[in-house]
Amino acid sequence: MSVSPGTAPYQDPARPAEQRAADLLPRMSVEDKAALMVHPTARLGDLDAPGPYGTPSMHSLLAAGIRHFNIIEGPSAREIALWHNQVQLTAASLPPGIPVTISSDPRHHFGSNPLASPLAGPFSQWPEPLGLAAIGDAGLVQRFADLVRREYLAVGIRVALHPQLDLATEPRWARANGTLGESAEAAGRLGVAYVRGLQGAEVGPDSVSAMAKHFPGGGPQRDGEDPHFEYGKEQVYPGGRFDLHLQPFEKAIAAGVAQLMPYYGLPAGTEYEPVGFGFNHQVITGLLRGRLGFDGIVCSDWGILGRTCWGVEHLTYSERIVKALDAGLDQFGGESRPERLAAVVRSGAVSERRLDVSARRLLREKFRLGLFDNPLVDASQADALVGTAAAREQGLAAQAAAMTLLVNRDGPARLPFDTARLPRLYTEGLDPRALDGRATVVRTPAQADAAVLRLSAPWEERGGPGSIESFFHAGSLAFPPAELARIRAICEQVPTVLDVYLDRPALLGQLTAAATLIVNFGAADEAFARVLFGELEPCGSLPFDIPSSMTAVEASRPDVPFDTARPAFRFGHGLRYRTAR
């Protein structure tokens, strides 16, 4: 593509995005269009250094015409912004001269899974989405998403690979922490607020485009296993509740969500073809495009052409491309070889007109975001705009508010602790510095007035250290017997507060020896300390049921919410300090 600057209609910012995309599209080659339709992960730093996961350098990818990148690292806001500007200037100097769109998974929480949620780093830190669901305030969710928008804009991130609108109906599922809970109503209501906070009333130059996931709902996993792995590839609906999982997406579509991501899984035992959702014509074209009327971008989850091609393993790489395009996919997440896509067009297996459909949507989004008109950010201001003291304080307050008080018995461990004296506390999992001026930390339970233990929900170790599997907390929700015996021994020696980080609904009924039981969904020690001493109040309500046993979990139907028998704690349960007695 070679057009003199400022002479083409697509370069006129006064024209509507749809018209600008329609003008630019015919000026592009098949290779240009194919390059728009891949969305690899990039590595910050030297543009000539090799990319992650064996991909070419950033400069090579830009030279190939690729103009969408996902980033994981975040050393500082200024470094991200400087790298972003360097990428944009390099892209502008290379044909076809189209600006770059940078995306990111959620990075304002506590999770540390490079395939789902990078560390917050320089960004303000808030509770997990489950914690936002525990608070349940749509206004807070919209304010949170608006803050995410502003912090992303400051560094050049223009697509959020979130919110996650799946329902946490299978208690064992490793991705529950990224959801807005088990209730379809709550996930839909809070999801709409999230989309509006990122995008505003409509996508524009001040928006971050939301890519909601994982259509048509990734929660009902067989045995709670995740489809990142072959043993978790099946989504099942024994309760016939497929449409229930659509509800949050329907509401997000009505609210104008710009992009959607199908999950890796395949529907088993349904009316739909048993192939991964990214390859599923009935689901993407029939259901999403047809029945729900969605004309936004559909981007696959990362790596479906090679690693997670469930149901189409027998097809060649090129045949998988053809099937995904036939399904209605616009973009291939995690792919960096646009020449393979161009080759299927050159071979006649896919028409160029089919590429035009997706390229038009992708160009339209770049025009709507204002990337053609103002692609650079002010890197000198990035550190001042990202992770401000005020934003961090808001995040800390939300962490505390999301904490959910389940049991609060009378005695020395009753919360909040008496501030009239400095209690002697034995602690585990809590930095003693967070208690400076609030309590005296002692070395043994025998020396203490009360014990405070911070724990995590249990999971089964899988894969070796650093393996993909190791980042997914899956399997049994029961605390190991040895750990239970250790906790019980402390509780019998001294009244004990147990605080459990819930990334999944652990079997908390096993912790009956505790005097006080509270759970968090991502809370720094400082937020927890403020709750312990009544400086902030835990205002959370459980965003899902807490099962009574693994037998109940195994007997439940993965697609049906609130389906475990006689739960230990019900959805919505949460005591308040003022009413705890």
Consecutive 10-residue averages of pLDDT for the chain (581 residues) = 61 96 97 98 94 90 97 92 98 94 95 63 95 98 98 98 98 97 98 98 98 98 96 98 98 98 97 98 98 98 96 98 98 97 98 98 98 98 97 98 98 93 95 96 97 97 82 94 97 98 97 97 97 97 98 98 98 86 41
Please tell me the pTM assigned to this model. 0.96
CA torsion 191-195-198-199 (nearest 10°) is -170
Which residue out of 105, 301, 499, 545 is catalytically annotated?
A: 301
DSSP designation for 417: P
Complete edge-to-edge strand list for the sheet that includes strand 440-442: 404-408, 516-520, 496-501, 450-456, 424-428, 440-442
State the Cα–Cα distance between residues 31 and 38, nearest whole angstrom.
Answer: 11
The reply to whether omega before 416 is within 30° of 0 (cis) is yes
Backbone dihedral angles phi then psi of residue 202, each to the nearest 5 degrees: -155, 160
Query: Which residues are CB-neighbours of 299 under 8 A, at least 6 positions away?
Result: 39, 211, 259, 260, 261, 329, 330, 331, 332, 333
In CATH terms, 389-555 corresponds, of 3.30.465.10, 3.40.30.10, 3.30.1950.10, 3.40.50.1700, to 3.40.50.1700
The tokens describing 451, both together, are 């014990």
Ranges assigned E (strand) in 53-146 = 68-71, 101-104
DSSP letters spanning 265-280:
-EEESSSS-SS-GGG-
State the Cα–Cα distance between residues 479 and 485, nearest whole angstrom.
Answer: 10
**Block residue for tokens 């290379």:** 94
Contact status, residue 234 vs residue 396, Cβ threshold 8 Å: no
Ranges assigned E (strand) in 120-190 = 157-160
State the Cα–Cα distance between residues 491 and 412, nearest whole angstrom.
Answer: 12
What stretches of 255-402 show up as alpha helix (H) in DSSP?
Answer: 281, 317-327, 338-346, 352-368, 379-385, 389-402
Count of alpha carbons within 13 angstroms of residue 429, beta-carbon side: 15
Query: Which residues share a beta bridge with 440?
Result: 424
State the Cα–Cα distance between residues 273 and 268, nearest whole angstrom.
Answer: 8
- Burial string for 338-349 (b: 16+ CB within 10 Å, else e) reads bebbbbbbeeee
Ranges assigned E (strand) in 154-202 = 157-160
State the Cα–Cα distance between residues 357 and 330, nearest whole angstrom.
Answer: 8
Is the torsion defined by CA of 273, 276, 279, 284 positive or negative?
Answer: positive
Backbone dihedral angles phi then psi of residue 425, each to the nearest 5 degrees: -120, 135
Is the torsion defined by CA of 14, 17, 19, 22 positive or negative?
Answer: positive
The tokens describing 531, both together, are 């709750």
If 0-12 CB within 10 Å is exposed, 13-18 middle and 19+ buried, where does residue 42 land? Answer: buried
Task: Name the strand (E) or helix (H) holding 333.
Answer: strand 332-333
Question: Where do the structural domains in the chain lie, given as residue ranges?
Answer: 389-555
The tokens describing 391, both together, are 């934003």
Asked about 226 being catalytic, the answer comes back as: no
Contact status, residue 232 vs residue 253, Cβ threshold 8 Å: no
**Block residue for tokens 């308040």:** 576
DSSP designation for 386: S
The tokens describing 20, both together, are 């600008």
Task: Name the strand (E) or helix (H) holding 440.
Answer: strand 440-442
The tokens describing 90, both together, are 């390099």
pLDDT for position 112: 61
